[in-house]
Amino acid sequence: MTTSPGRHRLLLCVIVWLAFCLRVYHLDFQSLWRDEVDVLRFALRPAHEAVALLRQPGENGPLFYLLLRPWLDAAGQTEFALRFPSAWAGVVTVALLYALVRRMVGPLPALLAALFAATAPFLTWYSQDAKMYALITALIVLILWLTTKTMSRGGFIRWAALYVLTSASLSRSQFCSVTG
């Protein structure tokens, strides 16, 4: 069974829209829980303190805090605003997973993988949490996609991008905790 490229794109748009709707539905339904308050507190630190987190073992997701700060300055500090970057990262993960699976095995399995990711309860849950998990998931899928592209096409820019993305997704603190 094959589908036309236009129909295929339409199905992908519907799946991505579904992922978006599932992730933003009741995004501010519950008040912030303790870890999310900590995220807000860390994200609102002065920039030099946030950058210092990159060197401290045991700190989770300093990249997330650095990206969250300008967003909170623009969008405010509501529950919805604090959780929205994770929701957005979850939606991006669905689209990136589609691109990865399409590159590896084709368009129909890619649509199925995107649908599973769009509706997966844990991916939806983490996309509604003001923590770094959805961002890390999106970065890892992007790294896998870029790895397949770099392995087939090479090029300095792709290798450099792969290095930067991999380094950004694994903060020094996470590396230190793995290596002792």
Predicted confidence (pLDDT) per residue in 124-176, tens digit: 999 998 888 899 999 999 999 999 999 988 889 989 998 888 887 775 444 44
Between helix 133-153 and helix 62-75 the angle, nearest 10°, is: 110
Is residue 110's pLDDT more than 90? Answer: yes
Is residue 109's pLDDT more than 90? Answer: yes
Region 80-98: what's the mean pLDDT? 95
25-51 pLDDT, tens digit each = 998 888 777 777 777 777 778 877 777
Residue 30: what are its φ and ψ, rounded to 5°?
-105, 150
Q: Is 117 exposed, middle or buried (0-12, 13-18, 19+ CB in 10 A)?
A: buried
Is residue 123's pLDDT more than 90? Answer: yes
pTM of the model: 0.84
